[in-house]
Structure 1
Amino acid sequence: MHKILISGYYGFNNVGDEAILKGLIEGIKRVEGPIDIVVLSQHPEFTSKKHEVRSIKRTNLLHIFKEMKNMDLLVSGGGSLFQDVTSKRSIAYYIGIIWFAKRLFKKKVMIYSQGIGPVNKKYNRWLLGKILNSIDFINVRDEKSKLELESLGVTKEILVTTDTVFGISKPPLEMGKAVLEKKSKIKGKPYIGISVRHWKTGNNIAEEMAKLCTDIVQDMDCVPVLIPFHFYKDLKLMESIHKNLDKDIKDKVVIIDEYLYVEDYLSLIGNMDIMVAMRLHGLIFSVLMGVYPVGISYDPKIQSFLHMMDREDAMEVENLNATLLYKELKDAFINKEENTIKLKEYQNKFIELADTHNHKVYDLLSQ
């Protein structure tokens, strides 16, 4: 039986990254069959329980070296691991894991469905290019990531596919429907999902999103549903949005204030009529579940994903304006039927692409 070690941002209660891991594991098992998978995680017990794999602490070098000695392949990804914007240290960690696997243990390494950049520091750019030219295979989730790697001097073949989340089997809608019935006092109206996050240049997010919720309730007669993706961090912002609402609006806006896991989030979003999302995986979840997404961009990866669906740029969080965002949302709602038909084409395309990088894992293990 083959053995792979998976390195990524796992065990941090971020549903997007947990979905990445779920899609990765499901996709590889679907192609490879029985396989020994070990995941580096911040909370190994949580990861083992949720994904039914072995897991070890991501900072325990002794255990990591023990697993590397016996592995057949290191899979680095998916997600946005190689960037130095949200953290100055994480890029060094992920490069270090690859260096140990390749140079110390002489093992095969694959970059799997990653979004690359931004990488701003000159030293990080030089080091990343040098390390990635030494590995066995590189797979990124969008064309912009490929261009970024080429600008770093990477000369190896680069396979462009899509996010690993598209490897997840869609869950039934009943789970999400049950959550909404428990949380919402209003029945029989369309739901508009909203997922936003704190950002250093978006100080007015709570105020603008409160205005948007008010317009959704008063002018569209719909129910806004505030959905935290990185639960404990995002929930505080959702509560701030709710506090900014007038008293007669508050009871008509739903906050998902209980911790859910990947299948529950997917099912919940599948019950939305439109999804407004700032986090990338809010957009990806909505496409997977056939719900039209409206984006807010805080990072180039948001625009890159929308471009893959031939969409125009999303509103930048620095210029967040509830009035303009409402107009885009309302137009999407009016044209919902037409948009959903177009969305289905891209959904099928992304699901097919996800199988491509899983077959590449199989090829590497078979060599």
Structure 2
Amino acid sequence: MRAVLCGYYGFGNCGDEALLSTLLQMLPAHVQPVVLAANPRQMQKRYAVECRDRWNLFAVSSTIARADAFIWGGGSLMQDVTGRKSVLYYGSLMQLAQSFGKRTVAWAQGIGPLRDPWCRDYTRRLLAGCRAVSVRDAASARLLDSWSIPHEQTCDPVWALEPASNPTAGALAPPRVAVVLRPHPDLDVRRQAVIIAALDQLQRDIGASVLCVPFQIPGDEPLARTVAESLEKPGLVVSEGDPRRLMGLFASVQLTVAMRLHGVLMAAAGGNPVWGLSYDPKVTQLLSEIQAPGCELNRLPDDPAVLARAWGEAYRQGSGLNAEARQSWVQRARANARVLTRVLAPA
């Protein structure tokens, strides 16, 4: 059985690459995946699976026509925050697959925001035509309830991603602190300076070694370098494109300060304390669900000492998720695998 996997793949976003890696991990053994990606040669080399150029619409259409199934593979694909482009691209491919009579799955989706009435109605009709729908959050589940579309509420599948050994952090003396930042209008030069000064203080207080981990490669790398090079004791920039090795990296640090959703998630899955800098309601929601400390980015304290003290307390308390809580998240994430097993069963 051939299944086309469709998502925001090949753009250097570690969160979306982790979703793909987890989807490949969860696919039944008899399924041959074909990944639609922005960088198909690199992706084919990394994951050892067949890939197609997502921008070659003739190749994409013929690939879907020859396949048995089509899967929206995780993330917030159907959203119109940045306009209709995402809805039109992912929606048209799902519509094509459904018109061909393929088995279609909306897998581990975060639906919305959908502000445009046309986008909402189009998304509703496509989801209603899927063989199975799983959503990763309560807000998406409520939306589907309001549309009377059967679905399963799971959680982000990356909780169940199997980590791989990553010796990179071992080159630094503990305690090791991972810092996951991204460019954002609220992270202006003044707030960057506050964060850098707070990290300097944390280094003095607990002897921390700092790893700056970009999650959008190369987009996050200049900011990561700026922070790492501005510290009194310079930090290490770790650009890791392999999601399983990235998961392994977070298992070897003692504290994570993160803006990005999957930075928070991977740190929590690795069992180390995490302190969130939220710029997005999804990040705020996850911090609440795992009961992790943090603050909204636009409310960042002006005094670096306040931040350093908060990070030091998180480190000393060692208040990461305990093994039982982590296992609970993993079990919920594995429900996404059962969705695939059910829909992709041999005929």
Same fold per superposition (TM over 0.5):
yes
Out of 274, 292, 306, the residue aligned to residue 293 of structure 1 is 274
In the alignment, is the contact (CA less than 8 A) between 2:211 and 2:238 conserved in 1? no
In the alignment, is the contact (CA less than 8 A) between 1:39 and 1:53 conserved in 2? yes
Alignment of 1:352-367 (within 5 A): 352-366=331-345
Cα distance, 1:70 vs structure 2? 2.4
Aligned twin of 1:222: 208
Q: Residues 271-329 of structure 1: CA distance to partner in whole angstroms, max 9, x if unpaired?
A: 110111111111121122222221111111112222332x2674112222345443432
1:149–1:296: structure 2 CA closer, same or farther, 3 Å change rule? farther
Structure 1 residue 302 corresponds to structure 2 residue 295: no
Q: Residues 324-357 of structure 1: CA distance to partner in whole angstroms, max 9, x if unpaired?
A: 4434322211210xx24x4322210121122212
Structure 1 residue 194 corresponds to structure 2 residue 182: no
In the alignment, is the contact (CA less than 8 A) between 1:68 and 1:101 conserved in 2? yes
- Counterpart amino acid of residue 120 in structure 1: R
1:84–1:232: structure 2 CA closer, same or farther, 3 Å change rule? same
Aligned twin of 1:20: 19
Structure 1 residue 345 corresponds to structure 2 residue 327: no
SS at match of 1:11: coil
Aligned twin of 1:71: 67
In the alignment, is the contact (CA less than 8 A) between 2:3 and 2:70 conserved in 1? yes
Aligned twin of 1:119: 114
* Counterpart-to-counterpart distance in 1, 2:46 and 2:185: 32
Aligned twin of 2:149: 156
SS at match of 1:233: coil
Out of 168, 171, 178, the residue aligned to residue 164 of structure 2 is 171
* Counterpart-to-counterpart distance in 1, 2:124 and 2:77: 14
Aligned twin of 1:282: 263
1:8–1:169: structure 2 CA closer, same or farther, 3 Å change rule? same
1:144–1:303: structure 2 CA closer, same or farther, 3 Å change rule? farther
SS at match of 1:4: strand
- Counterpart amino acid of residue 96 in structure 1: S
* RMSD (CA atoms): 2.1
Structure 1 residue 203 corresponds to structure 2 residue 188: yes
Cα distance, 1:258 vs structure 2? 4.6
SS at match of 1:231: coil
Which runs of 5 or more residues in structure 1 are unaligned?
A: none
Aligned twin of 1:135: 130
Segment of structure 1 superposing worse, 270-279 or 63-72: 63-72
What TM-score do the two structures reach when normalised by structure 1?
0.86
Cα distance, 1:84 vs structure 2? 2.4
- Counterpart amino acid of residue 107 in structure 1: K
Equivalent pairs counted in the alignment come to 343
* Counterpart-to-counterpart distance in 1, 2:277 and 2:244: 24
Which runs of 5 or more residues in structure 2 are unaligned?
A: none
Aligned twin of 2:310: 328
Aligned twin of 1:265: 246
1:92–1:212: structure 2 CA closer, same or farther, 3 Å change rule? farther
Aligned twin of 1:256: 237
Q: Residues 200-239 of structure 1: CA distance to partner in whole angstroms, max 9, x if unpaired?
A: 3332442232122112112232122211111211111112
Cα distance, 1:243 vs structure 2? 5.2
* Counterpart-to-counterpart distance in 2, 1:96 and 1:3: 20
In the alignment, is the contact (CA less than 8 A) between 1:109 and 1:136 conserved in 2? yes
Cα distance, 1:97 vs structure 2? 1.3
In the alignment, is the contact (CA less than 8 A) between 1:277 and 1:293 conserved in 2? yes
In the alignment, is the contact (CA less than 8 A) between 2:162 and 2:244 conserved in 1? no
Out of 296, 302, 306, the residue aligned to residue 316 of structure 1 is 296
Aligned twin of 2:44: 48
Cα distance, 1:15 vs structure 2? 1.6
1:156–1:193: structure 2 CA closer, same or farther, 3 Å change rule? same
What TM-score do the two structures reach when normalised by structure 2?
0.91
* Counterpart-to-counterpart distance in 1, 2:56 and 2:327: 40
Task: Give percent identity, aligned residues only.
Answer: 24
Q: Residues 35-68 of structure 1: CA distance to partner in whole angstroms, max 9, x if unpaired?
A: 2100100011111111111110112121122121
Aligned twin of 1:61: 57
In the alignment, is the contact (CA less than 8 A) between 2:106 and 2:134 conserved in 1? yes
* Counterpart-to-counterpart distance in 2, 1:84 and 1:64: 23
Aligned twin of 2:80: 84
In the alignment, is the contact (CA less than 8 A) between 1:161 and 1:354 conserved in 2? yes
* Counterpart-to-counterpart distance in 2, 1:313 and 1:332: 8
* Counterpart-to-counterpart distance in 1, 2:278 and 2:295: 6
1:290–1:312: structure 2 CA closer, same or farther, 3 Å change rule? closer
Aligned twin of 2:5: 6
